[in-house]
Amino acid sequence: MTDAAGRRFPIRYSIQRWDDGKWFYGSLLVVFLALAIFNLVEKRSIVSYVPVILLDGVILVSLYLMRRISYVEVGQDGLIIRYVFHRISLPYTALSKVRRQALEVAFQPAERRRFVNRFVRRLSKQPAAYIRLDRRNPDLLAEAERRLGARMVAGPDIVIPLVDVDQFVAAMKGRLRGA
């Protein structure tokens, strides 16, 4: 068993959302809390601040949870990809190749350019894991696209920007040779 066996590799899309949101929504929360405290000291009503503070807190918590539950896990029986509420388990026999390449390569074809959003643009120079699914199983390709979305599935590849992508590729190559 390798060190990376059973290890979770966080997906950079959700980390990027958290990093962007924590500053905006965090500062907004601080400002509204300061206004609410000021109004409490002045003995004024803070009823109008409560919904904004609660909504801001809910957004911050959801961004944090999204960051925590978006990962790729190298398991004993296969690969588990979980992105927010989407989850797919792929047995190692269904994978043919794993490689490391810049994220922007997946979005170069004209039909894929519509999937480029600000997160993809900001991460485009970063390395991503390209997980090649076995083409002999078209049902698995369709299920992967349905569950993960067209942004993450490019033809027969699942393209995911990961933290420690080199360690992920090394762990997967060891697993694919064993399968």
Each residue of 11-54: pLDDT tens digit?
998 999 999 899 999 999 999 999 999 999 999 998 999 999 99
- Considering the entire predicted model, what is its pTM? 0.82
What pLDDT was estimated at residue 145?
Answer: 87
What pLDDT was estimated at residue 5?
Answer: 54
Structure tokens at 122: 């900001």
Average pLDDT of the segment spanning 85-99: 89
Q: In Å, how far are 91, 116, 131, 149, 150 from 111, measured between CA atoms?
A: 29, 11, 20, 15, 11
Structure tokens at 86: 């989407």
What pLDDT was estimated at residue 105?
Answer: 87
What's the whole-number average pLDDT of the chain? 88
Percent of the chain with pLDDT over 70: 96
Report the distance separating Cα 124 and Cα 106, nearest Å.
9
Percent of the chain with pLDDT over 90: 52
Domain extents in the chain: 92-178
What pLDDT was estimated at residue 114?
Answer: 83
Neighbours of 146 (CB within 10 A): 12
**128: helix, strand or coil:** strand
User: How does residue 2 score in pLDDT terms, banded at 50, 70 and 90?
Assistant: very low
Question: In degrees rounded to 5, what are phi and psi of residue 9?
Answer: -110, 110
Report the distance separating Cα 51 and Cα 35, nearest Å.
13
What is the spatial order of strands in the sheet that 127-133 belongs to? 95-102, 127-133, 157-160, 153-154
